[in-house]
Amino acid sequence: MSRQNPIVRTFCTTREAAEMLGVSLRTAQLWSESGLLEAWKTSGGHRRISRQSIERLLSGPGSDLPVRADPEFLATESTDAPLSNAFSVMVVEDDPVLRRLYEFNLRLWPMQPEVLIASDGYEALVLLGLKHPDMLIADLQMPGLDGFRMLRTIQGAPELAGMKIVVVSGLDPEEIEQRGSVAAGIPILPKPIPFDQLATIAGQVLAERNAARNQRKEA
């Protein structure tokens, strides 16, 4: 009797995808909802994720990050106290010259922030799933997943609710409104990049974060 070759599934569940990627279940859900992972639902309402899209993500942006580097794991396993208390800023910008400009200027800020760089909305969602920055600076007009769709995806993630979002865009207000606008309360600053204004906002965010931590200590 000849042996039958085992059937290799081309898809997996959300929980299996999270384990393969080393992220939390919620992060895997966020990535599938945004389109970062190719996903669909069965007739019974269960989400299935393409293994090929998982493999692409593992070999793409963020693949050099350590296994199990999701925020929940870092919060419980990290022993590097200074890093856990560091002020972090993520910049999402597709222009390589502007990315270098951001990196240079932000590292000169008094709080010496940890700077995370993403070149488009997809890469940003990968990094956001691995790390929760204190502040996000985002362009709107980008290839692939643009800033408009990226921000809508982020606003649907409760675990990112405390992150300060600032838009820096070369689009004029009318163009932004025509393309769907952004949520109320998100500052929209014009290009060229207003580094002084961004530094002021970052200082306010840091002061609020420290005040909240002090209140928790006193409670």
Q: Comparing 9-83 with 86-218, is the CATH topology the same?
A: no
Cα dist. 123→35, 74, 109, 143 in Å?
12, 20, 25, 11
Domain ranges within the chain, ordered by starting residue = 9-83, 86-218
Residue with tokens 């405390």: 162
The CATH code of the domain at 9-83 is 1.10.10
CATH homologous superfamily of domain 86-218? Response regulator (3.40.50.2300)
Distance CA 131, CA 124 (A): 10
| Predicted local distance difference test score (pLDDT) of residue 206 | 92
What average pLDDT does the segment 87-99 reach? 93
Query: pLDDT tens digit string along 118-146?
Result: 999 999 999 998 888 999 999 999 988 89
Q: Give percent of the chain above pLDDT 90.
A: 36
| Predicted local distance difference test score (pLDDT) of residue 2 | 52
Write phi, then psi, for 166 (nearest 5 degrees).
-130, 135
Q: Does residue 34 register a pLDDT over 90?
A: no
